[in-house]
């Protein structure tokens, strides 16, 4: 028997979840229950919070409903019949959804006595649901707006076989073990504090070291490719944001304040500053392309319900770049930028997936410019022989874009890199260059961020490696463990030698048993441990252990330095 479409299977299972909840808690009101990546959820309005015990009861009732082998039947009602049914059941959220639906006939689906407003599709019968599991409970705003009622969201997943489900659940457990928020605390990398404000990251010494290593690397890579580093302000007058279009399309995510009766906004993006640098003097075709780069910190008013550690913060830094070029240079610049982004992601050990996002309904600029920009992106991908998917209507408000999703060790996809073509900013800000003919011509602008948000990238990186970073980016590369006080002098000598080689070294000279020191260094995920006792002091050697618990025994200092230096050079 052929496998069912996973989204159809999961959406159908969400209906069974809703049916079970209504049987157990008849007063509960229904929200929505879509399929999502690897699962589904359903939102409910319930006065008392669901408990883990409730989840077990609901799962048991779902299993009972599934055993009844109930068919999913489509039922078409007139708009007045649909309204009457939903009013009778006092389903106020469904009534709100009904108002937004077009047409005279409204689609419902029934499963036994349960009926739900739904366009489908569904599987034929509940007996097709072979393996499912409810995974968690969370809060959610109705339709994602903070001003709307708070609902309770039950998450679950469903697969065609029990084996697939078991594999998925193991992956969930591994994801919990790798959670960057948990590792950020245990590895002493960063923290969040209510007294500082939600979504604002505070980096501890090791976290700051990790971030600096990545930023220094990314800055050097930009220099190699002809980018010029710039620094722009954190605030601008409101007039600039109105001119750029951010005020109209982005203001719900912006912070505003007044200084001497003049309204300002904290920047949610870096592009206006780079535009002003370009405009500061006359440009010739001989100057182009001009590539600006900035590690620019921005702030966005993310809703409290969507913030998630480093992955979704209110304050974050972007490796932001803007390229100003002629129309003839556009395709080559896009190709080079895509290649640059993929080189960076490969260096950090990530896979990737490319998505071309096209013109949304709510946008600025002419259709002609959008078509020109989209064509340039498609041709660049074709010339680079890269496979991609199309996300219709998902472009930025000012232009189409290539998004590069990175694939981590668990096969999860994360949005980080983006490359956006913009004909509209040059029009709005009158960005031009003098051509060979001596006349003014309109330039083209490319917005691009390769890591995207540094915070988000760090979160993904932590989870990808489970905190066991490659040697070249590990905040602490070597931990020296002295067995007794009499070995401390030699340990300090070795530490000094390693630091001369620009290695990041810590010394644990505490009066503790060596076994405890080793275990703690392994928990801290330090790549190399150097143990120093009587034998090592006498032979002028080191005893080398890896965080994998492998004991490599005695080694000469010079040989160890060659080993670690090679690993760093190869970005391992």
Given the structure tokens 């209507």, which residue do they identify? 393
Cα–chain center distance at 296: 18
Written as six digits, the tokens of 49 are: 């919070």
Q: Number of C-alpha atoms within 13 angstroms, CB side, residue 367? A: 1
Given the structure tokens 């209510």, which residue do they identify? 194
447 assigned to active site: yes
Catalytic residue among 271, 325, 363, 443: 271
Total count of residues recorded for the chain: 572
Phi and psi at 546, nearest 5°, equal: -105, 160
320 assigned to active site: yes
Q: Which alpha helices (DSSP H) does 328-453 contain, by range? A: 330-347, 367-383, 424-428
Catalytic residue among 116, 320, 336, 508: 320
**CB contact at 8 A, 156 and 135:** yes
Catalytic residue among 318, 329, 405, 420: 318
Interaxial angle between packed helices 367-383 and 330-347, expressed in degrees from 0 to 180 and rounded to the nearest 10: 50
Catalytic residue among 322, 331, 464, 495: 322
Comparing CA positions, the residue from 247, 244, 292 lying closest to residue 265 is: 247
Q: How would you classify the pairing of strands 528-532 and 478-482?
A: parallel
**CB contact at 8 A, 142 and 149:** yes
With a CB cutoff of 8 Å and minimum separation 6, the contacts of 247 are 238, 241, 254, 265
With a CB cutoff of 8 Å and minimum separation 6, the contacts of 286 are none
Written as six digits, the tokens of 402 are: 């290539």
Roughly how many angstroms between the first and final C-alpha of the chain, as a whole number? 45
Written as six digits, the tokens of 497 are: 């030698």
Comparing CA positions, the residue from 568, 482, 483, 570 lying closest to residue 527 is: 568
Burial of 58 (0-12, 13-18, 19+ CB in 10 A): buried
363 assigned to active site: no
Q: What is the torsional sign of CA 300, 301, 306, 309?
A: positive
CA angle 388, 392, 397 (to 5 degrees): 110
Written as six digits, the tokens of 271 are: 């592009």
> What is residue 174's three-state secondary structure?
helix
Calculate the dihedral angle through the C-alpha atoms of 35, 40, 44, 50, rounding to the nearest 10 degrees. 180
Q: Which alpha helices (DSSP H) does 265-329 contain, by range? A: 271-279
Catalytic residue among 153, 274, 300, 448: 300
What distance in Å separates the CA atoms of residue 354 and residue 389, rounded to the nearest whole number? 6
Catalytic residue among 178, 359, 401, 464: 401
* Diameter of the chain measured on Cα atoms: 92
Q: What is the torsional sign of CA 409, 216, 563, 545?
A: negative
What distance in Å separates the CA atoms of residue 246 and residue 57, rounded to the nearest whole number? 48
Question: Which positions are annotated as active-site residues?
Answer: 271, 300, 318, 320, 322, 401, 447
């Amino acid at each position: 028997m052929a496998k069912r479409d996973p989204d159809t299977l999961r959406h159908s299972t969400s209906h069974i979840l809703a049916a079970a909840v209504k049987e157990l808690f008849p007063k509960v009101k229904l929200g929505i229950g879509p399929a999502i990546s690897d699962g589904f959820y359903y939102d409910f309005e319930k006065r008392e919070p669901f408990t883990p015990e409730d989840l077990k009861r609901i799962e048991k009732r779902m299993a009972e409903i599934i055993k009844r082998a109930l068919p999913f039947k489509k039922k078409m009602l007139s708009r007045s019949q649909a309204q009457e049914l939903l009013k009778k059941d006092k389903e106020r959220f469904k009534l709100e959804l009904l108002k937004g639906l077009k047409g005279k006939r409204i689609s419902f689906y029934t499963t036994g006595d349960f009926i739900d407003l739904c366009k489908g599709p569904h599987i034929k019968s509940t007996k097709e649901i072979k393996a499912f599991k409810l995974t968690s409970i969370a809060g959610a705003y109705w339709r994602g707006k903070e001003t709307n009622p708070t609902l309770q969201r039950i998450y679950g997943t469903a697969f065609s076989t029990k084996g697939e489900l078991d594999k998925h659940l193991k992956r969930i457990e591994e994801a919990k073990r790798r959670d960057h928020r948990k590792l950020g605390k245990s590895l002493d990398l960063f923290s969040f504090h209510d007294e500082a404000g939600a979504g604002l990251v505070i980096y501890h010494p090791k976290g700051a070291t990790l971030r600096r290593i990545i930023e220094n690397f990314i800055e050097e890579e930009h220099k190699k490719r002809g980018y010029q580093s710039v620094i722009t302000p954190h605030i601008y007058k409101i007039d600039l944001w109105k001119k750029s279009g951010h005020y109209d399309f982005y203001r719900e995510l912006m912070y505003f304040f007044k200084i001497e009766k003049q309204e300002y906004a904290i920047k949610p993006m870096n592009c206006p500053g780079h535009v002003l640098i370009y405009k500061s003097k006359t440009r010739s075709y001989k100057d182009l392309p001009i590539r600006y780069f900035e590690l620019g910190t921005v702030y966005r008013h993310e809703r409290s319900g969507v913030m998630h550690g480093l992955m979704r913060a209110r304050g974050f830094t972007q490796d932001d770049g803007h390229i100003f070029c002629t129309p003839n240079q556009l395709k080559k610049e896009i190709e080079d930028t895509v290649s640059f982004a993929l080189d960076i992601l490969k260096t950090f050990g990530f896979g990737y997936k490319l998505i071309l996002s096209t013109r949304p309904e709510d946008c600025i600029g002419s259709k002609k410019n959008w078509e020109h920009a989209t064509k340039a992106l498609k041709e660049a991908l074709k010339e680079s022989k890269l496979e991609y998917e199309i996300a219709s209507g998902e472009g930025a408000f000012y232009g189409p874009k290539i998004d590069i999703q990175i694939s981590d060790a668990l096969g999860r996809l994360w949005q980080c890199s983006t490359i956006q073509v913009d004909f509209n900013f040059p029009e709005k800000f009158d960005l031009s260059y003098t051509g060979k003919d001596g006349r003014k011509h309109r330039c083209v602008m490319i917005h691009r961020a390769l890591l995207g948000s540094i915070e988000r990238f760090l979160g993904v990186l932590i989870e990808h490696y489970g905190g066991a970073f490659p040697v070249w980016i590990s905040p602490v590369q070597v931990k020296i463990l002295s067995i007794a006080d009499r070995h401390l002098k030699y340990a300090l000598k070795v530490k000094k030698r390693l630091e001369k080689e620009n290695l990041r070294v810590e010394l644990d000279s505490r009066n503790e048993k060596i076994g405890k020191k080793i275990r703690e260094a392994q928990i801290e995920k330090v790549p190399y441990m150097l143990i120093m006792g009587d034998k090592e002091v006498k032979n002028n050697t080191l005893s080398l252990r890896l965080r994998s618990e492998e004991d490599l025994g005695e080694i000469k200092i010079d040989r160890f330095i060659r080993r670690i230096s090679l690993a760093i050079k190869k970005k391992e």
